[in-house]
Structure 1
Amino acid sequence: MSAITLAAQAVALDALAQLGAAMGHLPGAHISLSDITPNQLDISLHDDLGDFETWRSALGIAADTVTYIARTRHTVLKAHATFAGATIELCGYAALLPQPESGAEA
């Protein structure tokens, strides 16, 4: 059983409530809290990096602080912010663009 209580996650829960009230227009996302990092909100956006960009801009995260990771089958963008006292980890996932076949015309 976790030693962390729901009350210990109050900062992240409050930040989530404030995000909903102030930025309810943002695209829907997968949002999670963890007992490992009780003051953090993890916000993940899948299949549309435009949605990631909308969130990044709304949270005031500078574009040059975004980490880009190219994996075997997908692209990952990661960024961090602080909102209402909580740490936000923003992640965007999208498929890699297919590479042109060798000898194919551009």
Structure 2
Amino acid sequence: MSELLTLDSLSAPLRVLRLLAADFGHLPAPTMNVSPIYPNRLELALHRDGLHGFEVWREALGIAPNAVDFSVQCDGRTGVLRTLTAHAGAELELVGYGDVCTPVPIGGAA
């Protein structure tokens, strides 16, 4: 990005964070990220509560299950649920990390 961003440039995701804290303060606490790299995006990542925490947030936000992508990280043991949606004038990225019940072989190894 060639222009210098100010804190005010991040007002949309910060506003969404404030609204989520007021409306969903009872839900599992995610790791939150606001970055000038994606100035209109708030990322909520769930590590500790993992995939279950992701599902709780997904349902509370009214995100359809078919809007969620699933992948497995290169270790073959960590599943990742991810969705990107619009919420209150900003992009909201919701990510959940959790253990895969049966490790997935990587690189075709059997």
Classify the TM-score, shorter chain. Answer: 0.7 to 0.9
The runs of at least 4 aligned residues of structure 1 exceeding 2 Å deviation read none
Tell me the CA shift for residue 39 of structure 1. 1.0
Residue among 67, 70, 91 paired with 1:68: 70
Q: TM-score, normalised by structure 1?
A: 0.86
- 1:66: Cα distance to partner? 0.6
Q: Distance in 1 between matches of 2:62 and 2:5?
A: 30
Deviations 1:64-103 (A, max 9, x none): 111010222310000112111110010000122235xxxx
Return the TM-score normalized by structure 2: 0.83
SS at match of 2:39: coil
- Stretches of structure 2 that go unaligned for 5 or more consecutive residues are 104-110
Q: Which has the larger radius of gyration?
A: 1
Contact 1:40 1:89 in 2 (8 A): yes
Deviations 1:24-80 (A, max 9, x none): 111100001010111100110014311100000111110011101022231000011
Residue of structure 2 equivalent to 1:14 = 15
Q: Deviation at 1:3?
A: 1.2
Task: Check conservation: 1:59, 1:81, Cα contact below 8 A.
Answer: no
- Measured on the aligned residues, the alpha-carbon RMSD in Å equals 1.4
What runs of 5+ residues in structure 1 fail to find an aligned partner? 100-106
Aligned counterpart for 1:95 among listed residues 76, 86, 99: 99
Given the alignment, which residue of 83, 86, 97 partners 2:87? 83
Deviates more, 1:32-41 or 1:42-51: 42-51
The one-letter code matched in structure 2 to 1:64 is N
Q: How many residues align?
A: 98
